[in-house]
Chains A and B, each alone.
Chain A
Amino acid sequence: MADAVQARPPRIEASAWLQPLPAATRLSFCGDEAAQNAAAIALGLPSSRTPCRAVSTGARASLWLGPDERLLLAPAAEQATLLTILGSALAGHAHSLVDISQRQLAFELCGPNAALLLNAQCPLDLSLAAFPLHMCTRSVYAKSEIVLWRTAADRFHVEVWRSFSDYVLTLLRTVAREFPPTHGH
């Protein structure tokens, strides 16, 4: 039996306006409302029926991506636990639970220019009025799909498929050069 190998997640360079986020448990969860509620209760999350809104408790979050689709986020270490909890809670509910922990990776954009950095290639209105705190949605950044989640007035959690991350990060760094460093990110 060979030695166990280590996981090697892609490295993201941090900067004043960009914070990589640690490896996480990501579950794509689909099911009807009953299943959604059962899952929420099991995970200790408030039910998340409001479109394009995320609910979270501690490090666990459920992002509304579609009427019957949620992206469940939790610390990497919780993966097994989560699958067990949900497995039993959802018995009897028609649903789909798929591990996509490593399909995509995440980083945080922060600082006064976070929204401007995004709006260089993301066509959404990111003003607080139109894109309030806790809003989340799939969208696009240039030619890449992203999941965008506003975790603070000047902070966005961005999920991107791993093979698109180089493209998105390179683009963000190009755009960032347009802002004088003095505009402290």
Chain B
Amino acid sequence: MLLINCPYCGPRPEVEFGYGGEAHIARPTPPESVSAEDWVAFLYLRANRRGVQAERWRHVRGCARFFNALRDTTTDQFLATYRCGEARPDAAGSTTP
């Protein structure tokens, strides 16, 4: 069970959280001017990175806030967690596609 550092509540066990998938994917608008490519990319295409990935979590059984995290998907170690709206930290480290 992962130990996740909620930016609001501090380190908490995984069962308090919900996973929100890849982070920093903006929802394109307005609908009539969004191309099919952009829309399918928003809905479905994911980097699915092997290495450090920016991803969303929600502390649903805690402060209920969504936030972002950098996690190495080859080790499941977190490099950083940060609030929505904050820029992605450089702690990223090297990544493989």
**Partner-B contacts on A (CB < 8 A):** 51-52, 65-67, 69, 123-124, 137-140, 145
Contact = CB atoms under 8 A, between A and B. Distances in A.
Given A51-B9, A140-B15, A66 B1 contact: no
Contacts of B19: none
B16 A65 contact: no
B63 A51 contact: yes
B62 A138 contact: yes
Nearest to B13: A123
A123 B63 contact: no
A65 B16 CA distance: 13
Contacts, number: 39
Contact of A67 (B12, B16, B61, B65): B65
Given A52-B9, A123-B13, A138 B1 contact: no
Interface in B50-83: 61-65
A124 B8 contact: no
12 contacts: A65-B63, A66-B8, A67-B8, A67-B63, A67-B65, A123-B15, A137-B62, A137-B63, A138-B16, A139-B61, A140-B16, A140-B61
B3 to A, nearest CB: 10
Interface bracket on B: 10 to 19
Contacts of A145: 61
B8 A139 contact: no
A67 B9 CA distance: 9
A139 B64 contact: no
A77 B93 CA distance: 57
A65 B61 contact: no
Given A51-B9, A123-B1, A137-B9, A66 B64 contact: yes
A136 to B, nearest CB: 11
Given A123-B13, A123-B15, A124-B13, A138 B64 contact: yes
Contacts of B62: 66, 137-139
Contacts of A140: 15-16, 61
